[in-house]
Amino acid sequence: MDTLEHIDAYWRAANYLSVGQIYLLDNPLLTEPLRPEHIKPRLLGHWGTTPGLNFCFAHLNRIIAERDQDMIYIAGPGHGGPAAVAHAWLEGTYSEKYPDISRDAAGMRRLFRQFSFPGGIPSHVAPETPGSIHEGGELGYSLAHAYGAAIDNPDLVVACVIGDGEAETGPLAASWHSNKFLNRDRDGVVLPILHLNGYKIANPTVLARIPESELLDLMRGYGYRPHVVGPSHEEMAQTLDTVFDEMRDGGPLPMIILRTPKGWTGPREVDGQRVEGTWRSHQVPLADVRHHPERMAQLEEWMRSYRPDELFDADGRPREIVLRAVPDKRMSGSPHANGGEILRPLVLPDFREHAVEVKAPASHESEPTRALGGFLRDVIAANPASFRLMGPDETVSNRLQAVFEATDRTWNADLEPGDDHLSPDGRVMEVLSEHLCQGWLEGYLLTGRHGLFNCYEAFIHIIDSMFNQHAKWLDASRDIPWRRPIASLNYLLSSHVWRQDHNGFSHQDPGFLDVVVNKKASVVRVYLPPDANTLLSVGDHCLRSRDYVNVIVAGKQPVLDLFTMDEAITHCTRGLGIIDWASTDAGQEPDVVLACAGDVPTLETLAAAALLREHLPQLKVRVVNVVDLMRLQPPSEHPHGLSDAEYDALFTADKPVIFNFHGYPWLIHRLTYRRTGHANLHVRGYKEEGTTTTPFDMAMLNDIDRYHLVMDVIDRVPGLAVEQAHLRQHMADARLRARAHTREHGEDAPEIREWTWPYSS
Amino acid sequence: MDTLEHIDAYWRAANYLSVGQIYLLDNPLLTEPLRPEHIKPRLLGHWGTTPGLNFCFAHLNRIIAERDQDMIYIAGPGHGGPAAVAHAWLEGTYSEKYPDISRDAAGMRRLFRQFSFPGGIPSHVAPETPGSIHEGGELGYSLAHAYGAAIDNPDLVVACVIGDGEAETGPLAASWHSNKFLNRDRDGVVLPILHLNGYKIANPTVLARIPESELLDLMRGYGYRPHVVGPSHEEMAQTLDTVFDEMRDGGPLPMIILRTPKGWTGPREVDGQRVEGTWRSHQVPLADVRHHPERMAQLEEWMRSYRPDELFDADGRPREIVLRAVPDKRMSGSPHANGGEILRPLVLPDFREHAVEVKAPASHESEPTRALGGFLRDVIAANPASFRLMGPDETVSNRLQAVFEATDRTWNADLEPGDDHLSPDGRVMEVLSEHLCQGWLEGYLLTGRHGLFNCYEAFIHIIDSMFNQHAKWLDASRDIPWRRPIASLNYLLSSHVWRQDHNGFSHQDPGFLDVVVNKKASVVRVYLPPDANTLLSVGDHCLRSRDYVNVIVAGKQPVLDLFTMDEAITHCTRGLGIIDWASTDAGQEPDVVLACAGDVPTLETLAAAALLREHLPQLKVRVVNVVDLMRLQPPSEHPHGLSDAEYDALFTADKPVIFNFHGYPWLIHRLTYRRTGHANLHVRGYKEEGTTTTPFDMAMLNDIDRYHLVMDVIDRVPGLAVEQAHLRQHMADARLRARAHTREHGEDAPEIREWTWPYSS
């Protein structure tokens, strides 16, 4: 079979290039015997998985050529970086993206040298790698990424190699079931290739050691048609033909179980110990080659076993026997793997049409996320093939249900009476796995589409590490000119800490913001819109943005409408500002600043300002609301940072600032510790005092309530402590009464529930 | 069948008590018609899963009685809190733990009232719930907890109800494979009961809608013998008999698939809409009962459908027909579910025997984790049934391999040539799932045993949310007198940010510390031992502690030995201290303080101190090393906090402090912002500048390197900036040279690799 010869030649070439990357500084074509100075001083990289990755890639290329198939390739074992780089180079893509790495001997030398080398490229598949949307340094997300890429891409096949190590992770184990969310008419196909090479770092893998019948049951149980392939070109080619036929026959989708030795074609033994086919081939089979001549000889023998002379001409160019295996539709050059290239802006309806009417500030309440739901409904309707809303079955709970006027939940299994808005065409993807929501959305965004992930605030921590990896991907991508900007990853965190009073302590955690702010300022944005109109404005802004991670924290419970839509737009554009109607400083230097961020803290702050207006009418109080948290940082730390002069103008340089914050209070200190007036800043926030109780009791438990804020003002404004001791006691008593009422009656006290605002009069 | 009648009576009683908890403030026995004031003002709780949980519990009790079986019960759907509380009350355990909640009408009234009520108990299964080791508010961890509880408990069966919602999560999906790590001779048995009630919050569940044959394949693929049971006492009883026989027959372990309607026995229809058997029964089937008389009537009818008069006598005591279903070995009272009760202290060998010899400080290098490995080996040997080491296949990579001199890796599947230290008796549990490592260890600790989780630092973020939940559990447990202290959850984070230069950006993240420090000070501890002997001292301390989460960050690469063992013990006991031999302040007020925490930052600080000694011998430099990070906080914030006087004595009140930190720099600001000299504190740390490079280049990228620290000193010590401009330039040049060398040669410059320390002379 002539074709198999080309595939084998291509595979050998890729293997040769992979070994070269791990070992060689120079002498790439082995035109002379290896000498120590040809060898890298630090040998870094992962050989074990690499030949298998090369094998799959080579065979898939035949299918692409024969069937004119659009395909991308996800290397779950992303530590097999040399493989992905080798293919991009063999296919010519690497030299297109990086012209100094030409497809010849000089380029090959640079290709080898740069790998896992300071100033060069990472040892893992990375943003730097053409053709990849998947880093794979942290294992577990390949298959979710693959499904995210396949959705709304009807002509695409996403080949996804899953290492048997990765297959042990939770996120991967859950990802198999993603097939239930794939619409065969409108989505592409994912081809999982479970690569069993038997070992992880030092241990055998679970799936490689269970009986094959059990493994086949498992794959059938996941809803696939499994095909087992051994380490043979013939078997792989035949199976791929079968599998690509099966993809369109209406039966369960196929998947492949590929068994190969780990470190296949590498050294069989080193220093008397078996290496090929064992965990010892995981990283660098031959260590410290520079100082061991016998290992250098073994390395040369190993590289020559691929018969490089057959594969590359004297100038280092791949010969025809290799190039014939390269299809026109190169996976390394697929625009799907550089999503920004094919990104089309969302068609965005006017968010202002969803404004809640605000005749007077603080005179009416709305549910912010419900208003946003209306906007999202129109976004979905206007973008029927490029926007998805993800969530762990909380879309209605988070009060975004208006979206179901325009679409359904994605569901491809049976329907039963009583089911609510399910259909294969649904654009809301709900599964009880934050990992899948995140992984799908990442895959969807990285292939050039748009979306939003809505989640309970506490449980977004489940994907902390996925967020970290995506933020790092975006950060690294910014330095790669050919990676075009993609749509931002947008989080809407609702059902937040202050309104999970009923679900209790386990549901109360605002710490995701602290994780987010650790990542590069160029990538992360945090918004805390305090009412419906500001949420709409922020939502619109985030959907337009590129290459960011936007975190929006917003409530679903009714909160006071503070801003007309025009005011909201201005306020959000500034990112923070004085709420004039709640302030009593009348444009003068205030006695105290009440700052706030987050809907519930803002309400309590406004109530505290009302109490101060009533009880201390002479006190000049300034209320400042912060929507864009990054404005608090100095401009040297974040591009959104307020200048020191602006900061001081708002917060004063020397007056007490009582900052009522949605999250853990130290985040505000962290953002502001370089500011002039930092010593006068007193932050209230969640201090991990949680339980099952009422909303106002939650506020009191953490001292963010109106009464405590007034007490804070009395304690901090010079002169008030003695003069207003009575008022302070009055506030403390009000807290005790409120608490006693709650414990007696199980609901907030009437003076809280029926609180009247002084602002609209 | 007489027994089934008792089971049914018990089940009805549990259902009745569950409904009562959700709805009633008063009139618990329905001795009069329901009136509005009997109904809670806020109706909170989750009915949907509750009758299924009650059903399983009731039937398992029969098995316990008939077979005298030790058993505990894990309710994966922990939101079904009313179920667990009802059983503890029916079994009499609740009244033992909480004497005011007596097993009579008065107690029942209080039981109902306190549920999900301010000042009462959470709506989820929680630490407050007798018989539970599992909160279940955040879904995904029930089965991993179950396996952790079963390990090393040969006589125990852990019944684990898994909701079909939870079954969609990644951690749960991975947990099925835990059966490969169970040694049938030495461990107990886990009985998974997959409860398919068909719906999550608003969506159907995946596993309830796939064909049954597929589901059976899936369970067989996971290695279980599945048994399907419908909503029938007869079927459940027969199946349980079969299943408990099968547990000991040597075949695959059995599991049960239980299909019931969601909200089974609850209202069939409400306001014309089907409720029982649909997602509408997830929470409170009848809303706002107080203001809808027809719903009140429906509630009363519903409660009376359980025929309470048959179940409770006039005084509210459970009648004989119910009590006969309660076994002697009550699951609600099992000591395994209150692990501190049966906790035995570890037999701890003397860690000092593993000391590395330090003839002179800074004269020799050791690998800290390798030294700890020797200690852990002896801990394992001395505690053959109560200590486990968990890790995602990184134990050798983290250089703890000495443990394999005493034990193996747990492995119950086939062995093949080349396998390394695998056996069914192994006490090191390695699986490529941080979720499983964490979940198993939590289950193991909560049932009264000991352990340590070793992990790459970056990837511990994968279990951020599990850490959060465990920390919350420990925090809440402290207020519950009958919960006895359990062994601390110990993390050893190695392969840390500064030495993942070779694996690149995806492997570089020290942010777990920020997540940890958000939790209650009474629970969390963070240690950064800078050398081998301090790591040994810290390790011993952590293994002795109770009810904490201890995070130890320590390197595996060779680092300088700084302290003799005696010095290390003193240093760790103090938590921080001056390194005299590196300081030049000679007991006087220094000109500058070089503070450090973490092994690599400490090395760079010591090198900077050496450079200053060489170039600026008159400068009085004080070097302070911090092992116990919590010492930096004020004592008002953390029990380990240094007093302000002590802090000022060490760090000075007004001299510049250059703090070289292992993690993100702002954590140090957060811990110290209330300190006198905070304005003079300048922190260096990881600022998210990562890539594949050399160790020293990583330091330079983030400005924590020796040269930059000297530049910082020159910039901050008054007078030096002008006077020492030349030295500053000299340092900047050294950086450029080091960087150029690295980029040219792929390794650190000779002056770094062959650096000579001035201290030992």
Q: Tokens 């995140």 identify what position?
A: A438
Chain B neighbours among A 185-214 (CB < 8 Å)?
Answer: 198, 200-206, 209-210, 214
Number of helices (H) and strands (E) in chain B: give both, helices first: 27, 22
Question: Quick one: pLDDT at residue A565?
Answer: 98
Closest CA to B374 of B346, B352, B347: B352
Residue A657 — left, alpha, or beta (φ > 0 → left; ψ -120 to 50 → alpha)? beta
Q: Mutate one of B273, B461, B747 to test the A interface: name it (highest A CB count within 10 A).
A: B461
Distance CA A178, CA A189 (A): 11
Closest CA to A15 of A108, A109, A86: A86
Non-local (6+) Cβ contacts of A46 within 8 A are: A77, A79, A80, A81, A82, A123, A282, A283
Phi, psi of B317 (to 5 degrees): -80, 140
Question: Quick one: pLDDT at residue B416?
Answer: 87
Which is it for the CA torsion B172, A549, A627, A380, positive or negative?
negative
Phi, psi of B240 (to 5 degrees): -65, -40
B753 interfaces chain A, CB cutoff of 8 Å: no
**How far off is chain A from B22, nearest CA to CA, in Å?**
12
Q: Mutate one of A411, A661, A692, A747 to test the B interface: name it (highest B CB count within 10 A).
A: A692
**Where does the pLDDT of residue B761 fall: very low under 50, low under 70, confident under 90, or very high at 90 and above?**
low
- CA angle, corner A481, sides to A477 and A485, nearest 5? 55
CATH assignment, B3-333: 3.40.50.970
Contact A403, A389 (CB under 8 A): yes
**pLDDT of B1 above 70:** no
Q: Which residues of B touch A468 (CB under 8 A)?
A: 458, 461, 509, 511
Which is it for the CA torsion A279, A281, A284, A290, positive or negative?
positive
Q: Which CATH superfamily is domain B352-559 in?
A: Thiamin diphosphate (ThDP)-binding fold, Pyr/PP domains (3.40.50.970)
Q: Mutate one of B143, B178, B195, B393 to test the A interface: name it (highest A CB count within 10 A).
A: B393
The domains of chain A are located at 3-333, 352-559, 577-753
Q: How far is CA B335 from the centre of its chain?
A: 20
A753 interfaces chain B, CB cutoff of 8 Å: no
Q: What is the mean pLDDT of residues B127-145?
A: 96
Of the candidates A42, A743, A745, which has its C-beta nearest B41's C-beta? A745
CATH class belonging to B577-753: alpha beta
> β-strand A387-391 against A422-423: which pairing, if any?
unpaired
Which one-letter amino acid corresponds to residue B155?
D
A638 interfaces chain B, CB cutoff of 8 Å: no
Contact A5, A325 (CB under 8 A): no
Length of chain B measured in residues: 761
Non-local (6+) Cβ contacts of B12 within 8 A are: B306, B307, B310, B311
> β-strand A559-560 against A365-366: which pairing, if any?
antiparallel
Cβ of A279 within 8 Å of Cβ of B411? The answer is: no
Cβ of A169 within 8 Å of Cβ of B433? The answer is: yes
Nearest residue in chain B measured CA to CA from A470: B506
A417 interfaces chain B, CB cutoff of 8 Å: yes
Measured CA to CA in angstroms, residue A653 lies from A392, A539, A649, A672, A676 at distances of: 45, 33, 8, 12, 6
ipTM: 0.97
Which is it for the CA torsion A643, A634, B653, A665, positive or negative?
positive
Contact A632, A696 (CB under 8 A): no
Half-sphere exposure of B246 (CA within 13 A, CB side): 18
Closest CA to A631 of A752, A729, A537, A528: A528
Closest CA to B376 of B542, B248, B527, B514: B542
Half-sphere exposure of B634 (CA within 13 A, CB side): 10
Q: Which residues of A touch B735 (CB under 8 A)?
A: none
Of the candidates B138, B202, B670, which has its C-beta nearest A396's C-beta? B202
Q: Which two tokens stand for residue A353?
A: 């049409």
B747 interfaces chain A, CB cutoff of 8 Å: yes
Which one-letter amino acid corresponds to residue B354?
H
**pLDDT of B549 above 60:** yes
Q: What is the mean pLDDT of residues A740-750?
A: 94
Q: Tokens 């149980």 identify what position?
A: A221
Distance CA A417, CA B229 (A): 22
Contact B376, B452 (CB under 8 A): yes
Q: Which two tokens stand for residue B278?
A: 């649909």
Q: Tokens 């293919």 identify what position?
A: A87
Cβ of B476 within 8 Å of Cβ of A664? The answer is: no
Q: How far is CA A578 from the centre of its chain?
A: 33
Which is it for the CA torsion B367, B373, B374, B375, positive or negative?
positive
Q: What is the mean pLDDT of chain B?
A: 96
Of the candidates A126, A174, A420, which has its C-beta nearest B170's C-beta? A174
* Element spanning A645, H or E: helix A644-651
Percent of chain A with pLDDT over 90: 94
Nearest residue in chain A measured CA to CA from B697: A118
Burial label, B520 (beta-carbon count in 10 A; 0-12, 13-18, 19+): middle
Question: Quick one: pLDDT at residue A284?
Answer: 96
Cβ of B465 within 8 Å of Cβ of A469? The answer is: no
Question: Quick one: pLDDT at residue B675?
Answer: 93
Distance CA A348, CA B9 (A): 59
Q: What is the mean pLDDT of residues B453-475?
A: 97
> β-strand B422-423 against B489-494: which pairing, if any?
unpaired
- In this structure, the number of other CB atoms found within 10 A of the CB of residue A159 comes to 25
Of the candidates B41, B121, B435, which has its C-beta nearest A170's C-beta? B435
Q: What is the mean pLDDT of residues A301-329?
A: 97
Of the candidates A137, A464, A697, which has its C-beta nearest B507's C-beta? A137
Q: Tokens 């976004």 identify what position?
A: A379
**pLDDT of B248 above 90:** no
**Which tens digits make up the pLDDT trace of A483-521?**
999 999 999 999 899 999 888 899 999 999 999 999 999
Closest CA to B605 of B586, B591, B623, B629: B623
Q: How big, in percent rounded to 5, are the helix, strand and coil portions of chain A?
A: 45, 15, 40
DSSP for residue B30: -
Distance CA B742, CA B87 (A): 66
Question: Quick one: pLDDT at residue B587?
Answer: 85
Of the candidates B274, B394, B433, which has its C-beta nearest A168's C-beta? B433
**Where does the pLDDT of residue A248 fall: very low under 50, low under 70, confident under 90, or very high at 90 and above?**
confident
Q: What is the mean pLDDT of residues B195-214?
A: 95
Q: What is the mean pLDDT of residues A585-607?
A: 96
A39 interfaces chain B, CB cutoff of 8 Å: no
Q: What is the mean pLDDT of residues B583-603?
A: 96
**pLDDT of A1 above 70:** no
Q: Which two tokens stand for residue A542?
A: 């985030």
Question: Quick one: pLDDT at residue A761?
Answer: 57
- In this structure, the number of other CB atoms found within 10 A of the CB of residue B310 comes to 12
Contact A382, A349 (CB under 8 A): yes
Distance CA A146, CA A152 (A): 12
Distance CA A460, CA B700 (A): 33
- CA angle, corner A307, sides to A305 and A311, nearest 5? 145
Angle formed by the axes of helices A599-615 and A706-716, nearest 10°: 60
**How far off is chain A from B674, nearest CA to CA, in Å?**
8
Q: What is the mean pLDDT of residues B400-412?
A: 95
**pLDDT of A639 above 80:** yes
Q: Tokens 């100038």 identify what position?
A: A315
Contact A425, A407 (CB under 8 A): yes
DSSP for residue A503: T
Residue A250 — left, alpha, or beta (φ > 0 → left; ψ -120 to 50 → alpha)? left
**pLDDT of A760 above 80:** no
Which one-letter amino acid corresponds to residue A462?
I
Which one-letter amino acid corresponds to residue A455?
C
B702 interfaces chain A, CB cutoff of 8 Å: no
pTM exceeds cut of 0.90: yes
Question: Quick one: pLDDT at residue B445?
Answer: 98
Closest CA to B611 of B745, B435, B490, B756: B756
Nearest residue in chain A measured CA to CA from B433: A169
Q: Which residues of B touch A42 (CB under 8 A)?
A: 502, 694, 746-747
Say how many CB pairs under 8 Å bridge A and B.
362
Distance CA A712, CA A728 (A): 9
- In this structure, the number of other CB atoms found within 10 A of the CB of residue A213 comes to 10
Question: Quick one: pLDDT at residue A502?
Answer: 86
Cβ of A746 within 8 Å of Cβ of B124? The answer is: no
Do B3-333 and B577-753 fold alike per CATH? yes
* Residue-wise DSSP of A588-602: S--SEEEEEESHHHH
Q: Which residues of A touch B414 (CB under 8 A)?
A: 209
Question: Quick one: pLDDT at residue A415?
Answer: 86
Q: Which residues of A touch B274 (CB under 8 A)?
A: 417-418
| Gyration radius of chain B's alpha carbons | 30
| Gyration radius of chain A's alpha carbons | 30
Distance CA A542, CA A535 (A): 10
* Residue-wise DSSP of A311-369: HB-TTSPBPHHHHTT--SS-GGG-GGGSGGGT--------GGGGPPP-SSTTS-EE-HH
Nearest residue in chain B measured CA to CA from A214: B221
Dmax over CA atoms of chain A, in Å, equals 97
- In this structure, the number of other CB atoms found within 10 A of the CB of residue A99 comes to 9
Q: Tokens 């339980």 identify what position?
A: A691
Percent of chain A with pLDDT over 70: 100
Closest CA to A50 of A312, A285, A336, A324: A285
